[in-house]
Structures are given as structure tokens and as C-alpha cells.
Amino acid sequence: MRSPVYVALDTPDLARAKALATRVRHHVGGIKLGLEFFSAHGQAGVHAMAELGLPIFLDLKLHDIPNTVAKAVQALGALEPAILTVHASGGRAMLEDAKAAAPTGTKVIAVTMLTSLDASDLTATGIVGSAHDQVSRLTELAREAGVDGIVCSGAEVAAAKKIWPKGFFVVPGVRLPDGVVGDQKRVVTPRQALDAGASIIVVGRPITQAEDPDTAARAIGATL
């Protein structure tokens, strides 16, 4: 069975992204390319990474009016990513149009509340309620809009799965117990995330910034 770990290759350096992916390829189920990589290398960079033969999670977190997002998804369709992200807070029509514009083999996944935010950040943006409330509300919206799943933290995934038993749940913000948390605020361990119902987990710096990324990826895999 494929590993549920997707490694986030957050670098603008194509050679480094390739080298990292090559080193950890036997310990991960896929690679995630995000804004940092895509802003530097665009579709050509994604094609270059696809040569490694691992499933690609294209994490561009699209968030705009429905027409703009649908056209962007259409333009990305040639890449046929396994997973593509949009922001749930873009609203129902945007989510519906994103899904309609995506290739059939691409899972469109809605980001609910970034794992770098906590309750006080929500209040500061005018949103009333807890992280749990916000993720639940946006999970319901994503389900109704017909996308394939959501991104949330490991603290909310069990509640989200109750709302949407057939959803696909992506959990980033995972750290081993002694790991450096950095800018993440809602963090759980890889094991906790999977036990709570994550379909896949996203791991970036704990692997990519490790002295030996290969050993770090293997160590995470050993806890699952």
C-alpha cells in the first residue's frame, strides 16, 4: 500500500526539489508542490517533477471569483495532478466551478482553516467561533459543493469526518513529539492525524530541513 505521507517540497530550487524527491521517494506516497515552487518554475517545473513517477499534489490554494478559478483550474488541467487545492472560503459557486473544470482524475480539495491560524486569528479576521466551528462549517460547504475533500488540522479531522464520512481528508501541520513547530499553530503527530481519520498527511520541513531527509522520512513512516 502507498504511504499516506506526501512530502511538501517547498523550495524555489528545481534541482533541490528533484534531489529531495529522489532521496525520499521510497518512504512517501507522493510529492506536494506549492506556491513557492510553482511561482519559480510554473508548469514546466511540475512536468519536470512528474518524471519521477510519484503522484503530484499541486497546492496552489486558488481563491478568486468562480470564473477566474475555473479558468485557472482548466489551464492547470494538462498537468493532471492527483490533488489540487482551492480555498473553501471562496464560496459554493467557486467550489462547484473548480470541480467542474478539473480533470476527472484530479481530486479537488478545499482548504478550510489554515493550520497556521488559531482562534485569535479567526477573531481578528471577523470570524466568530472556534476553529472546530469554522472547519465544520466549511466542511459542510465543501461537501455540498461536490468537491472531493478538505484540508484541516489533525485537531478537527475527526469532527469533519463525522460530517462527511466519504470525504478525502488532508492533514498538514504534523510534527513528531519533539519536532520544531515553526509557524504552525494547530499541530498533531502523524500517528494522531491518521488515527483521527486523515486520508493523507503532509510533511514539509521535518523532512526537507532534516540533516538526512531520507532517515527523517523513514522515521516518520515508522510511527504510522
Ligand X SMILES: O=C(O)c1cc(=O)[nH]c(=O)n1[C@@H]1O[C@H](COP(=O)(O)O)[C@@H](O)[C@H]1O
Binding mask of the shown chain, residues 11 to 30, with x at each position contacting ligand X by CB under 6 A: --------------------
Q: Does 173 bind ligand X (CB under 6 A)?
A: yes
Pick one of 56, 102, 203, 220: the residue that binds ligand X (CB under 6 A): 203
Q: Does 156 bind ligand X (CB under 6 A)?
A: no
Q: How far is the CB of 163 from ligand X (least distance, A)?
A: 18
Pick one of 66, 167, 197, 204: the residue that binds ligand X (CB under 6 A): 204
Q: How far is the CB of 20 from ligand X (least distance, A)?
A: 12
Q: Does 31 bind ligand X (CB under 6 A)?
A: no
Q: Does 148 bind ligand X (CB under 6 A)?
A: no
Ordered DSSP codes for the chain = ---SEEEE---S-HHHHHHHHHHHGGG-SEEEEEHHHHHHHHHHHHHHHHTT---EEEEEEE-S-HHHHHHHHHHHGGG--SEEEEEGGG-HHHHHHHHHHS-TTPEEEEE-S-TT--HHHHHHTT--S-HHHHHHHHHHHHHHHT-SEEE--TTTHHHHHHH-TT-EEEE--B--TT---TT-SS-B-HHHHHHHT-SEEEE-HHHHTSSSHHHHHHHHHHT-
The residues in 63-102 that bind ligand X, with binding defined as CB under 6 A, are 85
Q: Does 189 bind ligand X (CB under 6 A)?
A: no
Q: How far is the CB of 146 from ligand X (least distance, A)?
A: 19
Q: Does 111 bind ligand X (CB under 6 A)?
A: yes
Binding site for ligand X (CB under 6 A): 8, 10, 34, 59, 85, 111, 114-115, 151, 172-173, 182, 184, 202-206
